[in-house]
Amino acid sequence: MPEVLHPRDAVSPVPLTAHGVTLRAGAMRESVSLAAFRGQADTLRAFVGKEFDVDLPDTPRSVENADGITFIWAGPNQWLLRAAPGTDLLTRLSPCAAFAALTAQGDSRTALELRGPGARAIAAKLVPVDLHPRAFAAGDVALTLAGHIAVILRQVDDTPCYEFLVFRSLAQSLHHELHTAMLGGIPQADRIS
């Protein structure tokens, strides 16, 4: 009898907490990347604006529309869309195929969420961008490295909560790195009084 293949979680689904910071795997979401063909960015913007009632961000930011679809800047004229399962993003986006490249990314990216008052200090151990609230606020996005792992980093809210979008095959490593950083505690310089 052939072995049945079972879907496996990219990382342990059990949330880990240390020093008031919680690390958990983000909920499964539909993901589609959107990249405008040369000279077609304005057409794409107009379509998305009309279909989803949202302005695609031109700077490293993310915006959410009324339906809870997140539009994440992912490079010049490129975006990553994330939505709850069942939204059927690809069908809604199919008219874009004439002026943009559409790629389903649901299997490619895993979300890791770091949440808690000390999350900024823990994230800052791995990420070489300034996460001070003056420089990086809720909704801001950075394409960068966490350790040596390429991530799309997004601040979800002011708890603070950070979402690391990482390639699935590297999710386990990043999860381990983040957990190790959490166990190291909040550096004295970052202690919140």
Partner 1 sequence: MRLNCPCCGPRGLEEFTYRGDATVRRPESPTAPAQDWVDYVYLRDNPAGPHRELWYHGAGCRSWLVVTRDTRTHAISDVVRAVDVARADKEGAGS
Residues that bind partner 1 (CB under 8 A): 60, 75-76, 128-129, 142-145, 150
Q: Would you say 119 and 162 are in contact if contact means Cβ atoms under 8 Å apart?
A: yes
187 sits in which H/E element: none
Give the integer Cα–Cα distance in Å for 170 and 29: 18
| Cβ distance to partner 1 smaller for residue 7 or 76 | 76
Least distance (Å) between residue 129 CB and partner 1: 7
In sequence order, which residues have a C-beta less than 8 Å from that of residue 4 and are 6 or more positions away?
A: none
Least distance (Å) between residue 144 CB and partner 1: 6
| Cβ distance to partner 1 smaller for residue 21 or 41 | 41
Least distance (Å) between residue 76 CB and partner 1: 6
Least distance (Å) between residue 77 CB and partner 1: 10
| Residue 95 DSSP SS3 | helix
| Cβ distance to partner 1 smaller for residue 142 or 182 | 142
| Cβ distance to partner 1 smaller for residue 22 or 78 | 78
Q: Would you say 192 and 119 are in contact if contact means Cβ atoms under 8 Å apart?
A: no
| Cβ distance to partner 1 smaller for residue 60 or 160 | 60
In sequence order, which residues have a C-beta less than 8 Å from that of residue 25 and are 6 or more positions away?
A: 9, 10, 11, 12, 13, 110, 111, 112, 113, 171, 175
How many residues are given for the chain? 193
Least distance (Å) between residue 179 CB and partner 1: 22
Amino acid at 144: T
